[in-house]
Amino acid sequence: MRRFHVYDSRTRETRVFAPITPPRVGLYVCGMTPYSAAHVGHARTMVFFDVVARALRRWGYRVFYVQNVTNLDDKVIARAAESGDDPLGLADHQFREYLASMERLGVRSVNLYPYATDYVPEIVAQIRTLVDKGYAYRADDGSVYFEVAKFAPYGALSGQRVEELRPGARLELDPRKRSPEDFVIWKSATPGEPSWESPWGPGRPGWHIEDTAMTGRLLGDRYDLHGGGIDLIFPHHEAEVALAESATGVAPLANYWLHGGLLLLEGTKMSKSLGNVARLDAVLDEYGPMPLRLFYLNASYRSPLEFDPEKSLVEAREAYGRLAQPATRLAELIDRGGAEREGEELPDGVEVEADDLVERLDTLLASDFATREAIAALYSWGRRVGELGNLTRFSGAGLSGLYGPYAWGEEVLGLFVRPATGASGAWSEIVPVALEARARARARGDFAEADRIRDALAAQGVRLEDGPDGTRWEFVASG
RNA sequence: GCCGAGGUGGCAGAAUGGUUAAUGCGACGGACUGCAGAUCCGUUUCCUGGGGGUUCGAUUCCCUCCCUCGGCUCCA
């Protein structure tokens, strides 16, 4: 297991990571509330934690990655009421759409996406414990509240002090609460809305306790890593700490807290409530997953990142094209020639350079996931590969050696993934024959014939590019 | 008001107590090419919010001020 450092927002310092029970690592990330389509801000967080899970697995940790689904809350109910849908059905549908986008984005590292409503028994049990221990109380209407004053460390995670919380518009004065900062963990039932029986009457779970009930069941009283967007740190994560540590008496709930920076649109946070969103599926349709992943990973994960709908991904697409060009070229040659392909060995030292670079890439990621620096190093590798000139002369083993850093990028960053081409097996036999015929035509100056061949291949979705070391070809997506 | 994160070239965005402050985009110039497309090479000297302090040396550490963003019970 590789040693790595991670910035822990609870202690506000970069710390060496030490798992509770190596090599296992419990990773819990707050997922989205599926009441409407995911936007590119959500996806930034998900891509980052995808890279975390990929890196840890590469380094020998056995990661159990849970991402919860808050499939029932006020917003889901409100949205369902607008459209006349069943709330749980709406959430289920939206979540499936979200999963489809994650699949397109290459986010496949999550082991389990639990629905909050599948954990009502655990939630009720935890509330019962809190009530029994005196941390929570039932209000007259059957709702149950957590009494913040009973939990002394409240505010430690986020640095908030209860007495400094602004008694502003959003901290409503609610006669059911003993104190304004108390938060609801069981909401008494409203007729027509989904509800469950409980010792306090019919109702449904409050937001914060869903997570602590699920993590208690799935990851235990204490676990290694808890992640989410920085906007969740207060009150949501603060509340989780209060609930779990009060209920179990064990602290800390999570050994490391990772918070991802937000995506900004025109300088302000992208959010569904503000309406300034770029939908994830639309962006994937227009640019594909790789430029988007590059765009996210091109910044420090903790910093705010400005998303310009007109420019950001146009630029990322250009940048990704350059970054991936040598990788694509190498992969094509390896695919078509096989690992046994004959040819020259690499010049002295190049293989060692590739291995050293892979080690350096791991080292960079192990330093609080410095994806941007890893990407810069991959650009320099592209230049190094370019210096070697015509790649077609190298053996399969040599080409594989050159591909090493890109294989790392594929494994950890999820970049350099090529769309499946399906028919390429058969085409890899046919296209070279056509290219030879075309090369002969060009050599004798018969450009009409050469262009005819090029057009014929183009009609089949095969695009040609003449370059100094011959003609390369590829399938063009769609037709 | 309180808590937190930031301020770096035309733009995006890294890093660092010390030679030319990474990388990418853009721009400009060139190479290659039958054409197309793509690629490659070079250039882009004057860029670290203001003011103090520590130091031989500060963009980096400390203090202060200004500004931006996020959170303050819906939020990735």
Q: Residue A424 — very low, low, confident or very high, per pLDDT cuts 50/70/90?
A: low
d(CA A106, CA A47): 8
Query: Residue closest to B11, CA→C1'?
Result: A311
Residue A259's nearest CA partner among A9, A16, A78, A442 is A9
B8 C1' to A313 CA distance, Å = 22
* Packing angle of the helix pair A280-287, A40-58 (nearest 10 deg): 70
Shortest CA to C1' contact from A438: nucleotide: B34
B23 C1' to A231 CA distance, Å = 29
Shortest CA to C1' contact from A229: nucleotide: B76
d(CA A467, CA A289): 27
Number of Cβ within a 10 Å radius of residue A479: 7
Q: Residue A179 — very low, low, confident or very high, per pLDDT cuts 50/70/90?
A: confident
Q: Which residues pair with A470 in a beta bridge?
A: A467
Counting Cβ atoms within 10 Å, is residue A230 exposed (0-12), middle (13-18) or buried (19+)?
middle
The token pair at A299 is 């910044």
Residue A171 has pLDDT above 90, yes or no: no
Shortest CA to C1' contact from A29: nucleotide: B76
Q: Are A267 and A259 a contacting pair, CB within 8 Å?
A: no
Which CATH superfamily groups domain A5-123+211-260? HUPs (3.40.50.620)
B63 C1' to A337 CA distance, Å = 65
Residue A173 has pLDDT above 90, yes or no: no
B14 C1' to A372 CA distance, Å = 7
Q: Residue A256 — very low, low, confident or very high, per pLDDT cuts 50/70/90?
A: very high
Shortest CA to C1' contact from A451: nucleotide: B35
Question: Can you give the pLDDT at residue A468?
Answer: 67
Cβ neighbors of A20 (< 8 A, separation 6 or more) are: A26, A222, A223, A224, A255
B54 C1' to A14 CA distance, Å = 25
Query: Residue closest to B22, CA→C1'?
Result: A376
**What's the Cα-to-Cα distance from A271 to each of A32, A39, A168, A178, A228, rounded to whole Å?**
12, 8, 21, 32, 15
The residue assigned the tokens 């995670």 is: A157
B23 C1' to A56 CA distance, Å = 25
d(CA A230, CA A217): 25
Question: Can you give the pLDDT at residue A169?
Answer: 44
Q: What is the mean pLDDT of residues A451-478?
A: 79
Q: What is the mean pLDDT of residues A334-356?
A: 84
Residue A479 has pLDDT above 50, yes or no: no
Q: Residue A459 — very low, low, confident or very high, per pLDDT cuts 50/70/90?
A: confident
CA A32 remoteness from chain centre? 12
Shortest CA to C1' contact from A307: nucleotide: B12
Q: Are A399 and A341 a contacting pair, CB within 8 Å?
A: yes
Q: What is the dihedral of CA A9, A13, A14, A19, to 10 degrees?
A: -60
Query: Residue closest to B13, CA→C1'?
Result: A299
**Positions on chain B within 7 A of a protein C-beta:** 1-6, 11-15, 22-26, 32-41, 68-76
Residue A166 has pLDDT above 70, yes or no: no
d(CA A412, CA A54): 5
Query: Residue closest to B68, CA→C1'?
Result: A267
3-state secondary structure of A121: helix
B45 C1' to A249 CA distance, Å = 63
Shortest CA to C1' contact from A160: nucleotide: B3
Shortest CA to C1' contact from A172: nucleotide: B73
Per residue, the 3-state secondary structure of A13-66, as one string, reads EEEECCCCECCEEEEEECCCCCCCCCEHHHHHHHHHHHHHHHHHHHCCCEEEEE
Query: Residue closest to B32, CA→C1'?
Result: A468
Q: Looking at chain A, which residues constitute the CATH 3.40.50.620 domain(s)?
A: 5-123+211-260
B58 C1' to A260 CA distance, Å = 30
B22 C1' to A362 CA distance, Å = 18
Query: Residue closest to B12, CA→C1'?
Result: A312
B74 C1' to A339 CA distance, Å = 54
B2 C1' to A162 CA distance, Å = 10
Shortest CA to C1' contact from A167: nucleotide: B72
ipTM of this complex prediction, to 2 decimal places: 0.90
Q: What whole-number percentage of chain A has pLDDT above 70?
A: 95
Question: Can you give the pLDDT at residue A168?
Answer: 47
Q: Are A330 and A385 a contacting pair, CB within 8 Å?
A: yes
Question: Can you give the pLDDT at residue A249?
Answer: 95
Query: Residue closest to B2, CA→C1'?
Result: A164
Q: What is the dihedral of CA A77, A82, A83, A87, to 10 degrees?
A: 10
Predicted confidence (pLDDT) per residue in A354-410, tens digit: 999 999 999 999 989 999 999 999 998 998 888 887 788 888 889 999 999 999 999
Shortest CA to C1' contact from A158: nucleotide: B3
Shortest CA to C1' contact from A441: nucleotide: B34
B48 C1' to A295 CA distance, Å = 23
A303-342: b (≥16 Cβ within 10 Å) or e:
eebebebeebbeebbebbeebbebbbbbbbbbebbeeebe
The overall average pLDDT reported for chain A is 89
Residue A413's nearest CA partner among A381, A378, A440, A447 is A378
Residue A13 has pLDDT above 80, yes or no: yes
B26 C1' to A142 CA distance, Å = 61
Counting Cβ atoms within 10 Å, is residue A257 exposed (0-12), middle (13-18) or buried (19+)?
buried
Q: Radius of gyration (Cα) for chain A, nearest Å?
A: 27
Shortest CA to C1' contact from A445: nucleotide: B34
Residue A266 has pLDDT above 90, yes or no: no
| Cα angle, residue A221 at apex, residues A219 and A225 outer, rounded to 5° | 55
Q: What is the mean pLDDT of residues A276-291?
A: 90
Q: What is the mean pLDDT of residues A259-273?
A: 80
Q: What is the mean pLDDT of residues A247-271?
A: 88
Amino acid at A176: R
Q: Which residues pair with A173 in a beta bridge?
A: none
Cβ neighbors of A112 (< 8 A, separation 6 or more) are: A64, A65, A66, A67, A218
B24 C1' to A324 CA distance, Å = 13
Q: Which helix (H) or strand (E) holds A470?
A: strand A470-475
Amino acid at A291: P
Q: Comparing A105-109, A205-209, A392-396, A414-418, which segment has the lowest mean pLDDT? A: A392-396
